[in-house]
Structure 1
Amino acid sequence: MTSTSSIRHPAASEVTFGLLFMFLSVMISPLIDIFSKLATATISSTEVAGFRFIIQSLTMLPFVFLRGAKIQFSLKQSWYHAIRGAMVTISMICFVTTLKVMAVADAIAIFFVEPIILTILGSIFLKETIGWRRYSACAVGFMGALLIIQPSFEQVGYIALLPVVSAFCIAVFALMTRVLSHREDPWAMQFQTGLWGIFFCAVILFFGYGSGSDIIDTAMPDLPAFSYLVGTGIAAAITGILAAYAYRAAPASTLAPLQYLEIVSATVFAWLVFGDFPDVLKWVGILIVIASGLYIIWRERRFASKPVSDTSEATRAP
């Protein structure tokens, strides 16, 4: 049980920076999915994930050295990073596989059970107190996402469940990022995640070679596909760093509702690239999602600016 005397309460400025970094992360994040969907026309889901990790790690490596970031390779820390790498690898493969048969925004809409999962996990494992307002914000944001996309399990079958698996893996990944970000440099941490992702994808592709599967087989990417893979890796590197700094500054449960804003940028990017223009009902959903995100920002800034008088409502992860 965490003692209230040892609990670290983030300052209002820390929460604000955490919210800002998460906002930027979710605005850029759909580019990963746009580039991935374009690449799946010619190569497998696991190959897309593997190239993403390779390019992401190569992109981040110069910054790790320039910052003089210390990469820890202790057995315990490596175990944590291996789990994070496995979670993000499974999530990436499941989600990219979904993108083969579903629109980007549809897949993201189903994926948005992740903030709710993260909020619940944060309250259980990080002892973060979750009030009814934050639960309400998550529920309202999720309903807004459903209005935008209206996903149909009848149309795509079991494939529609893969974003749920992806969401759970990312929730676990985000929870561990929240814990580790207080001990390690975010750049070094994300770099190690990329290395583990490369390892797991290499193992899967090794056993899947020659299978003919569009999920685990390998193929030489052509020039357009390679450019899409580069875009996927760079976008992943940027969003990963922003998210790491966000979780370092603010509680996971505070940041979770903001992730609904990703559906806004995803809808815009999907319209620009694939010509999917939202109808009136979807625009209503977008407004609901934006309102939900703005409310949680206002609520958390207001809460963080008050003196802590009731420890039962102010418990935060150390």
Structure 2
Amino acid sequence: MLGFCILAPMMDAFAKATPSEVPLGQILAARFTVQAAILVPLAWLAGLGGWPSRRDIMLHLGRGFALLAATGCFFAAIRHMPIADALAIFFVEPFILTLMGAVFLKEAVGWRRLAACATGFAGALLVIRPGLGDLGLVTLLPLGTALLFAVYMLLTRSMSQRLHPVALQAHTALAACLLILPPLVLMDGSGSALFDPILPEGRALWTLAGVGVIATVSHLFITLALRFAPAATVAPLQYLEIVGATVIGFFAFGDFPEPLTWVGIAVIVASGLYVFARERARGTPVDRPPPAP
């Protein structure tokens, strides 16, 4: 889990370091194409590559779209703001997932967890507010990531008990590729800032490869962590990802969170840990705060 907390911000750093002339759609394509190229053969060799049912195909496409859009929002945000700030805002996702579980899955949520969710959102506002003056609505993109990733996690709940994690991630990567590659092909030469691909050279070639490889390895790390320990045990450790993001952001880009941002981060982390503690005490399943796209 600690390995994931170190590697995941490195993936974000590679995305942020990718030259601005590389469109966002091409960065997303690199992230999921490399993951599919690594995990699909692994799943096949392990005997996990069976053809999914029609219902599972639709669920894979839904999960692929949610993860693709969530990652796109996050990569777009960190092009303009520090990685640690964007990640701190993203960590309201467990609160969104708790509320969506109560609404859509009719899960019991007590007033203490609702209060913790409200407090966590207040902490996110402390992180967002310092950047509103300079960045405007860009600071809301990580909230979009959190919302979309909560949808992704809800869809995952209905499949995680039936499919092996490696096969699940392999199918998700394939679904994302099916969604992102056609626009890049169709809009080649169109001048679109989002989908007109370029031939990567120099630094772009290395950063695109880094995004895909590190994304795949980091997700395998968190899969292994959850295989050897309960989610309720390893989930709180993911908040250390903010530490990794702060260190990498400082040394790679000279970014360091403002004092008010640190207050917001502390509020979000404390509220998230309380939600996990309450769910663990009640003996209910705990979803980890999912990895930053």
What TM-score bracket applies, with the shorter chain setting the length?
Answer: 0.7 to 0.9
> Percent identity at matched positions?
39
What is the 5 A alignment of 1:1-318? Answer: 25=4, 28-148=7-127, 150-241=129-220, 246=226, 262-304=241-283
Contact preservation (8 Å) 1:128, 1:316: no
Greater shift in the superposed pair: 63-72 or 176-185: 63-72
Instruction: Quote the Cα distance in structure 1 between the aligned partners of 2:18 and 2:85.
Output: 18
Q: Deviations over 1:177-222 (max 9, x none)?
A: 1221101111011001111111111112123221223211101112
Q: Is the 8 A contact 1:38 1:228 kept in 2?
A: yes
Root-mean-square deviation over aligned CA pairs:
3.4
CA contact (8 A) 1:114 1:168 kept: yes
SS in 2 for 1:152: helix
Give, in angstroms, the shift of residue 47 of structure 1: 0.1
The verdict on how the C-alpha distance between 1:54 and 1:43 changes in structure 2, with shifts beyond 3 A counting, is same
Name the SS of the counterpart of 2:20 in structure 1: coil
User: In 2 relative to 1, CA 167–291 (structure 1 residues): closer, same or farther, beyond 3 Å?
Assistant: closer
Q: Name the stretch that deviates more: 150-159 or 36-45.
A: 150-159
Report if aligned partners of 1:109, 1:151 keep a CA contact under 8 Å in 2.
no
Task: Please report the TM-score for the alignment, with normalisation by the length of structure 2.
Answer: 0.80
Give the partner amino acid of 2:164.
Answer: D
How far off is 1:300 after superposition?
Answer: 3.9
Q: Matched residues in 1 for 2:186 and 2:136: separation?
A: 27
Contact 1:127 1:316 survives alignment (8 Å):
no
Q: Equivalent residue of 2:106, what SS?
A: coil
Structure 1: runs of 5 or more not aligned: 1-20, 305-313
Distance 1:160 1:226, change over 3 A: same
Query: Given the two structures, how large is their TM-score scaled by the length of structure 1?
Result: 0.75
Cα distance between partner residues in 2 of 1:300 and 1:174: 17
The offset of 1:172, in angstroms, is: 0.8
Q: After alignment, is 152-161 or 270-279 more displaced?
A: 152-161
Count of aligned pairs: 285
